[in-house]
Chains A and B, each alone.
Chain A
């Protein structure tokens, strides 16, 4: 049987062309402590260096056999470039992802520096992506936050949520601004040659918003984003999504990704077999907490539910157990030679 390189496998997967086996990858962070410690650095240092980002993602894939690499790992690169700062927790011994320390206190106060795309760590992320693309070994995944989730990084979320009831026009103007930023960054990463682009509207599940509000506040802007981007483009949402699957499927993405709260069997029925379905194991529970011998059951559960690739429901927590990640990869390789609903096999 012909075998493909990781990059070919992922590229063909997104074109819905037959592949040799199911790729093992994600649209969210996949860096591991195993790679970080092999590099002899601390997790808090990895975010500030293009070389560290590129090397840690590549090493994680080398160690565990992933088909793709993803950078960056934190949500703060754009807010930081917008002038909101970034806490990296240099003094903490534990693994902590950077956060945005300050937010604008009202919707109208949001002002973008004209050269924000060249500020803070934006150039560094681009350099890391260029390095990974030119290495030509793994598929390279780019990602951006969706407009609402990005908005929640730079403004108090309650202002946005309450604003929808009290001040719709201001909220709409703010969301348009965020949408423009998301499109600009995603297009820039696509121009660098990333193989797929994930739009993570992760904070917009129905744990927070009603389906009606989702259609009003989230869907129009996601449609705008996906209309502006080239394929392949993926929409990922964490948390409750069962009530908005059809609406998500109507945003213009090529693939949908869900976390463990989604009922994949029902979702597959709703979206049909043409749409790429990605998901949906609990990354922390499966890769950090569980005994390794239980992992195959979880992965097979995703396969049986009809996914086209087994994605974690979010970033994998870096402190994974090696044996659990190995079990994830091994199980997909073992059972992934069978065609999935949207992708055949050679």
Chain B
């Protein structure tokens, strides 16, 4: 069994690799984690995801901007690709649910959406990614098909934001319990209220921040045990 000291060392290399967007380092230490018997879930949550939390802080302090975050995300994905196949079946206890995600019709910008998708994936959600420029009715259809608890909609421009309102109406009409998250530069608290959504993140960066906070909560739950 791997020593606590070695575990901490590997997790730090994974976390640092994400923060410093060193894809090769993340790959190397993901393999090391697997080879030395470190639990894959532990490596993902306390190595890769922990690194992404630091990235969130750096973004908050305006030390990192979107380009850096994209490269951190690449490093994180590189590690996930190696570690995910080694997750044990009972790690699914960490799964918090399913989310349908996409960029609304008329909008072809998906950087924010892809970052959020990554955060959901790291957090253990099953993500149904509809892509970008998605016809509005698709969101509702996919939510019903997958019985997802969350639908996350993104619009980068004011000119496409109005589509979100229609999607929310369609989803809530069929299933009022679905939580709907909005994201994107033009989305404000007023828009969320007006459209009848449940939450929002202002801009790609803040959306990521919100998701990172969520991951932080998940990691905490994982450490402390989920409340009954």
Contacts and interface: CB of A to CB of B under 8 A. Distances in A.
A15 interface: no
Interface stretch (B2-10, B43-51, B160-168): B160-168
A208 B59 CA distance: 11
A206 interface: yes
Given A99-B133, A207-B185, A92 B203 contact: no
Contacts of A89: 105-106
A276 B166 CA distance: 40
Given A96-B105, A210-B62, A239-B185, A162 B67 contact: yes
Given A96-B105, A158-B70, A162-B70, A209 B65 contact: yes
B158 A158 contact: no
A283 interface: yes
B107 A99 contact: yes
A157 B188 CA distance: 24
B228 interface: no
Contacts of A166: 71
Interface string B187-208: 0101100100000000111000
A96 B163 contact: yes
Contacts of A239: 185, 203
Given A96-B105, A96-B106, A161-B66, A317 B159 contact: yes
A7 to B, nearest CB: 28
B216 interface: no
B211 to A, nearest CB: 16
A117 interface: no
B214 interface: no
Interface string A200-223: 000000111110010000000000
A225 B208 CA distance: 34
B111 to A, nearest CB: 6
A289 B194 contact: yes
A94 interface: yes
A94 B66 contact: no
A208 B161 CA distance: 19
Q: Chain B at the A interface: mostly helix, strand, loop or mixed?
A: helix
Nearest to B69: A161
B186 interface: yes
Interface string A111-125: 000000000000000
A315 B185 CA distance: 15
Nearest to B115: A158
A96 B109 contact: no
A208 B186 contact: no
B121 interface: no
B62 A87 contact: no
Contact of B108 (A92, A99, A213, A317): A99
A272 B159 CA distance: 33
Contacts of A100: 108
Contact of B105 (A92, A161, A164): A92
B185 A87 contact: no
A285 B190 contact: yes
Nearest to A207: B203
Given A92-B105, A285-B188, A97 B159 contact: yes
Contacts of B66: 161, 207-209
Interface string A86-105: 01010010111101110000
A213 B160 CA distance: 28
A186 interface: no
Given A101-B133, A165-B67, A157 B109 contact: yes
A284 interface: yes
A77 to B, nearest CB: 15
B10 to A, nearest CB: 26
A207 B204 contact: yes
Contacts of B210: none
Interface string B145-169: 0000000000001111111001000
A207 B65 CA distance: 7
Contacts of A162: 67, 70-71, 74
Interface string B33-72: 0000000000000000000000000000010011110110
Given A89-B105, A101-B133, A285-B188, A165 B71 contact: yes
5 contacts: A94-B136, A95-B159, A99-B108, A165-B68, A319-B162
